[in-house]
Amino acid sequence: MATRMPTLYLSHGAPPLADDPVWTRQLADWSGDLDRPTAILVVSAHWEDAPLTVGATADDTPLTYDFWGFPQRYYDVAYPAPGAPALAERVRELATGPGGSIRQDPVRGLDHGAYVPLREMYPEADVPVLQVSMPTLDPARLLELGQRLAPLREEGVLIMGSGFTTHNLREMSRQAHGEAPSWSVEFDDWTHRTVLDHDVDTLLDFAHKAPAAALAHPRSDHFAPLFVALGAGLDGHRSSTSTVDGFWHGLAKRSFQFD
């Protein structure tokens, strides 16, 4: 019998995440405390496509290097995790509601929102991984998507939303780790408190309720994966844990686990 898995929202970082010994240890320690999943389902900030689209399921699909201007070594990274065709079929069954649709992109490999953290959490690349798109940035619709996918937890699937708790590259601080601008600190603190209070309605209206929301997220793509993870976690005991905190170049790397 598969172990019921939690759902995760993590701040995934840019490709240089692999060079940060603090962050990589935080992710490795986090996954070390989890039961081994039967498969991993990732919703990344870096793939928006409607209708809901399932990524490649073949074992040998190349990664999607969806970034520019980095040293060549970041484009030489490999993460040959097995494909998850059976999980893709389950997603199709669960996510297609009345009037809904789903399609597949057979050549789109994992993007850096998926493989960068997974290389630190599951470095052996021996757990099947499937990535699906975000069909919308609407928090309520993403919450509903997470609720539809929640039965996968009972099948041992680890549902992972990969974004960044604050994400404003134009305003990003170039200072040392641990120092952050007030807008990032305020939004991070609000998110931490609101998630742990299980105040779903307030979270859904974060654009109007959170301090410095427009600065923390000029565009909500990196906050949006939180709602998929949150929605999939609503069928449990509504136990939320902040698993990673702190800042990276001023951006909040706050991450959560929903049990």
- Three-state SS string over 41-67 comes to EEEEEEEECCCEEECCCCCCCCCCCCC
Amino acid at 67: F
- Which of 85-99, 130-144, 157-171, 224-238 is the most confident on average? 130-144
In sequence order, which residues have a C-beta less than 8 Å from that of residue 132 and are 6 or more positions away? 41, 42, 43, 47, 52, 53, 54, 55, 91, 95
Among 84-98, 115-129, 169-183, 207-221, the range scoring the smallest mean pLDDT is 169-183
For residue 18, what pLDDT is reported? 84
Which domains does the chain show, CATH number per domain?
A: 7-258 (3.40.830.10)
Helix (H) or strand (E) holding 256: strand 255-258
| Whether pLDDT at 156 is above 80 | yes
Q: Where are the alpha helices (DSSP H) in 150-196?
A: 182-196
Mean pLDDT of 189-211: 97
Burial track 127-154 (b if 16+ CB lie within 10 A, e otherwise): bbbbbbbbbbeebebbbbbbbbbbebbe
Among 17-31, 85-99, 155-169, 189-203, the range scoring the smallest mean pLDDT is 85-99
68 backbone dihedrals φ, ψ, rounded to 5°: -135, 150
The 3-state DSSP class for residue 112 equals helix
The 3-state DSSP class for residue 11 equals strand
Residue matched to tokens 């996510």:
95
* Residue 43, both tokens: 């919703």
Contact 256, 240 (CB under 8 A): yes
| Whether pLDDT at 97 is above 80 | no
pLDDT class of 183 with cuts at 50, 70, 90: very high
Name the average pLDDT for the chain. 93
Residue % of the chain over a pLDDT of 90:
82
Residue % of the chain over a pLDDT of 70:
95
Among 20-24, 107-111, 210-214, the range scoring the smallest mean pLDDT is 20-24
For residue 125, what pLDDT is reported? 97
Q: What does R_g of the chain's alpha carbons equal in angstroms?
A: 17
